[in-house]
Copies of this chain bind each other. A is one copy, B any other.
Amino acid sequence: MAVYTEVSDEDIIAFLGQYDIGALASFKGIAEGVENSNYLLLTDRGPYILTLYEKRVDPADLPFFLGLMDHLASAGVSCPTPIKGRDGKALRHLCGRPAAIISFLNGVWPRRIWPAQCAALGSALAAFHLAGADFELTRPNALSVENWRPLFEPCRGRADAVFSGIEATIDAELDYLEENWPTDLPAGVIHADLFPDNVFFDGDRLSGVIDFYFACDDFMAYDIATCLNAWCFERNAEFNVTKARNLLSSYGQVRSFSHAEMAALPLLARGSALRFLLTRLYDWLNQIEGAMVKPKDPVEYLQKLRFHQGVAGPGEYGLI
């Protein structure tokens, strides 16, 4: 939870003057999101989100992210869209940061996941992948298999203090995944960070998907693997096969996966678990004193990695 860049009343009034979305009624920093500063902006026409893109976002990627939201929304995916000012532009600067006003999406993200929500997630993810197929911009995944070792190197020598034996596990897993990572699965635009706090619901009905700031081109099945990790484990680290079955079968009803994708799922789930283990480990070991964001527990993803290491085949995810 964080607002990194303080926007003054005068700043926001001047900024809003470039848009035709009504007069300012209120604006308040939102205590959600880790990467960027978000404000909830109320005008006399309704709510909007103002996002200031902080250091971790490369400004060169913003046309991809904002263009993707427009593209997906046009294709019928429920997601926020960037609002264009009177000059036709959605992306501008505020308080020294790239900034955009984004349409507001109703709904709340689920703190406790119901199996029915995993089914809704599966359909939405498949629809996302289908809709992304003809998006014209591209962005390589900056957190894929070739980036994991460079991320781990600065953690070496300090990681075992976080959890005993974690270094050896990561070393062996890096060797294995670099050796065995697939190269020819169906690829396209993926969300790459589809955690529960990025999916809004109205009860069991999925009202939309937010936060496209890790979206990139990669294997579509890798996105599914990330969702298996983020949605289908209980808090005690047990895998919930009912949730996984719901996710996979609903996905398959909208976009059928190939046999190769299915067979690769345990490997992709190991890779996705390692990716989040490594970024969390890095953030854990590089905490900034006085930071307003609590780092997430890397050990949670070590447990998920170990689960997938023990999986004999994709059947254990609930689909025959």
Residues of B within 8 A of A24 (CB): 108
Contact B110 A9 (CB under 8 A): yes
A251 to B318, CA, bound (A): 71
A2 to B3, CA, bound (A): 10
**Min distance, Cβ A291 to any Cβ of chain B, angstroms:** 9
Q: Contacting A47 at CB < 8 Å: which of B3, B26, B112?
A: B26
**Min distance, Cβ A107 to any Cβ of chain B, angstroms:** 7
A27 on the interface (CB 8 Å rule)?
yes
**Min distance, Cβ A39 to any Cβ of chain B, angstroms:** 9
Q: Contacting A106 at CB < 8 Å: which of B2, B6, B42, B104?
A: B42
Asked if A112 meets B32 with Cβ closer than 8 Å, knowing A26-B104, A106-B26, A292-B292, the reply is no
Complex interface residues of chain A between 47 and 103 (CB less than 8 A to chain B): 47
Asked if A112 meets B10 with Cβ closer than 8 Å, knowing A40-B40, A106-B26, A106-B42, the reply is yes
A111 on the interface (CB 8 Å rule)?
yes
Contact A26 B107 (CB under 8 A): yes
Contact A106 B25 (CB under 8 A): yes
Asked if A112 meets B8 with Cβ closer than 8 Å, knowing A1-B292, A40-B40, A294-B290, the reply is yes
A29 to B29, CA, bound (A): 9
Q: Which residue of B lies closest to A109 (CB)?
A: B9
A19 on the interface (CB 8 Å rule)?
no
Asked if A30 meets B27 with Cβ closer than 8 Å, knowing A1-B3, A109-B9, A112-B8, the reply is no
Contact B1 A29 (CB under 8 A): yes
Contact A9 B111 (CB under 8 A): yes
Residues of B within 8 A of A294 (CB): 290, 292
Residues of B within 8 A of A110 (CB): 9
A-B contact pairs, 20 of them (CB 8 A): A1-B31, A3-B31, A8-B111, A9-B110, A9-B111, A10-B111, A12-B108, A13-B108, A24-B108, A25-B107, A26-B104, A26-B105, A26-B106, A26-B108, A28-B32, A28-B40, A29-B30, A30-B30, A30-B40, A42-B106
Interface residues, chain A, CB within 8 Å of chain B?
A: 1-3, 6, 8-10, 12-13, 24-32, 40, 42, 47, 104-112, 200-201, 290, 292, 294
